[in-house]
Chain A
Amino acid sequence: MDKKEKIIVGIILASCFLSILIGVVLVIKPSGHGELTAGSGEKGLLSRSPGVAVIYIYGPLYVSDNDVYWNRMMRGSDRIVEQLKKAENNSDIKAVVLRINSPGGSVGAVQEVYNAVKKLREGGRKVVVSMGDVCASGGYYISCACDRLVANPGAITGSIGVIMKVSNLEGLFRKVGVEIEVIKSGKYKDMGSVSRGMTNEERKLVQEVINDAYDQFLGVVIEGRGFDEKKAGEVSQGQIFTGRQAKELGLVDETGDLKDSIRIAGELAGIEGEPRIIDLDKPMMRFFDFVMDSVPTELVKRVVNEKSRVRLEYMLQ
């Protein structure tokens, strides 16, 4: 083997080795954009510097027994609470950004997440909300538990209120000759049944339930935003606002995007420079998230199709 051939082999092997090293660096270096690795302050695997965790609340929120582990759009409140608890137990996490892109959800689910956020704050963590496209109704309820509310100027927020929808298919059933026999233990037991309309007495009862849930929401807005009852009542008639309008009304503190929210969270927590982003999703979860991006949403929706059921909702219509 002559010298020239040796040089060729050396160059080939060295370039392959160098390419592998460069490849490793390119793949593991933070992108500097995108939600998974937002912020270029991300450090190495063994870094123990204080950081900010980003928790995503995407889509309608329910206490769900069939949520999809790997899909952010399909996570139930239990998963969100689990992540908040994880942030509470991680001493590296000094602040949390709740990235909310949700029209709300069921009252129970929203209140569970709200309480978990309050507990996190009691533990000394700063919590900042970043409102994506929509952070309305139940999404706003959760936001009221946070230190700082940041919304995109065009984000939809507000819709403070409670709603419950009951279908009345009595006429349709009669038309197709379906008769539903109801045997019940009490006169209100089939209240909200699709087979008949509500009586005035039942409607009054449901209205009282709605009013109570609304009062709870109002109380949260008053406590969270420091409004008096009059002002809280004015902005809580179910109307929606853009992020900019919400800022003028005091419903949010700042207008800005996810990066701004991360920066603000870092400042509130006293982190110097750009904060490190701590991703609470397990790597396998992120892997599935990545894979599921290519699966049509309709298919995922079909897999986790929520059964129709009567429930109180803090939900944007």
Chain B
Amino acid sequence: MIEYFSKTFYNLIVRPRDAMEEVSRGKPWVLVFMIFVGAHVSRIIGGALSLPISGGFGRAVMVFGLGFGIAAGLLNWIVVSGVFHLSAELWKVKGNAGELFMMLGVCMAPGLFVAPLSIIARGMGGASLFFYSLFILGINVWMAVLSIMAIKKVYSCSMEKALRIFFVPLFFVFVVSMFLTVVIVLVIAAV
């Protein structure tokens, strides 16, 4: 089992296409949940490291962040899987929603690197926030690429369709959040 996990994890970093095949065939739910929990813990610790907090307050933020962050991450995972599946249905491609859910869980693996990179960024002194943002951007791009590959695999569609399935909901969310931001700013200005 450890051999299988190690191989899948290694492939995910070096040969993601092969890793997708293995995950699709083997359905390693335990590995998927380990990646999900590990990536979120790493992200939360990394995020806390980027903030000017410490001591008892840091402890409180961390406990709150771990409890809330993992619960929110699980909810986000379910919602994102549902939204991408809906998007795929709209683009008239067929696939298994459960398999997509599992694949997207595997795609969170780059999140494991947030904590080590945050420590590196913290060591950059004054430029730590810049480097932290840069690392987070890189990890998110990596996760996006893996997610697109997962969508392509699950729905056996072209790269163009996979990109559409991935980006159209994101664009929609972007537009809605921009609208909400403008509304919130206007409300605050009116207070």
Chain A interface (Cβ within 8 Å of chain B)?
1, 5-6, 8-10, 12-13, 15-16, 19-20, 22-24, 26-31, 34, 36-37, 42, 45, 279, 283-284, 286-287, 290, 299, 302-303
Contact = CB atoms under 8 A, between A and B. Distances in A.
A19 B119 CA distance: 7
Range, interface on chain B = 20 to 34
B10 A9 contact: yes
B79 interface: no
B38 interface: yes
A1 B3 contact: yes
Interface stretch (B48-56, B141-149, B156-164): B48-56
A16 B42 contact: yes
A24 B53 CA distance: 12
A31 B7 CA distance: 41
B55 A37 contact: yes
A279 B56 contact: yes
Contacts of B191: 299, 302-303
A28 B66 CA distance: 14
A27 B61 contact: yes
Main SS at interface, chain A: helix
Contacts, number: 106
8 contacts: A16-B112, A23-B48, A26-B49, A27-B54, A28-B58, A37-B57, A45-B56, A283-B64
Interface of B: 3, 6-7, 9-10, 13, 38, 41-42, 45-46, 48-49, 53-62, 64, 112-113, 115-116, 118-119, 122, 188, 191
B41 A20 contact: yes
Given A1-B3, A287-B61, A290-B57, A24 B116 contact: no
6 pairs of A and B residues whose beta carbons are closest in the complex = A283-B60, A37-B55, A23-B45, A19-B116, A19-B115, A31-B54
A22 B115 CA distance: 9
B180 to A, nearest CB: 18
Contacts of A5: 6-7, 10
A20 B45 contact: yes
A46 to B, nearest CB: 12
A142 B3 CA distance: 69
